[in-house]
């Protein structure tokens, strides 16, 4: 996802519009932003009184809550030679929550847990 424009750029665009330095299209070309963006910033400033971007909300909540995470930690501590698919299947059998292989990988990384096998089924780090 792209980063929001800087607050400084937004403020300069709004000041230019308020001082009548041209139409929304002219100002958009001058600052190299989309005319719809200029229109949105002007609308937000006039209707909401907001001259900066909205704060980031953090995205959707994860599928695995604290009980599932502690269960996953116990699974990895008990047998850490399983593959990601195997962990996902074991967790599904115990909790009924199905997660993808990529979610399992990110969850294990966030918990700082490292399974011993790589994607090909062999030992990770084996020569």
**Residue 83 domain flag:** yes
Query: Do 43 and 11 reside in the same domain of the chain?
Result: yes
Give residue 36's domain range. Answer: 7-48
Q: What HEC string does 93-125 produce? A: HHHCCCCCHHHHHHHHHHCCCCCCECCCCCECC
**Residue 1 domain flag:** no
**Residue 60 domain flag:** no
* pTM (two decimals): 0.52
The structural domain count of the chain equals: 2
**How far is 92 from 115, CA to CA, in rounded Å?**
18
Query: Do 43 and 12 reside in the same domain of the chain?
Result: yes
End-to-end alpha carbon distance in the chain: 38
* Segment 53-82, tens digit of pLDDT: 888 788 888 888 899 999 999 988 888 888
Query: Do 104 and 76 reside in the same domain of the chain?
Result: yes
42 pLDDT more than 90: yes
**How far is 80 from 73, CA to CA, in rounded Å?**
10
126: tokens are 């084996």
């Amino acid at each position: 996802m792209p980063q929001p424009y800087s607050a400084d750029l937004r403020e300069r665009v709004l000041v230019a519009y308020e001082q009548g330095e041209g139409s929304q299209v002219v100002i958009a070309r001058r600052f190299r932003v989309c005319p719809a963006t200029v229109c949105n910033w002007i609308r937000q400033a006039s209707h909401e009184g907001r001259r900066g971007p909205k704060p980031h909300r953090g995205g959707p909540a994860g599928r695995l809550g604290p009980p599932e995470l502690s269960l996953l930690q116990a699974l990895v501590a008990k047998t850490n030679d399983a593959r990601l698919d195997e962990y996902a299947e074991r967790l599904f059998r115990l909790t009924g929550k199905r997660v993808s292989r990529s979610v399992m990988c990110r969850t294990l990384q966030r918990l700082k847990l490292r399974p011993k096998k790589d994607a090909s089924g062999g030992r990770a780090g084996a020569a």
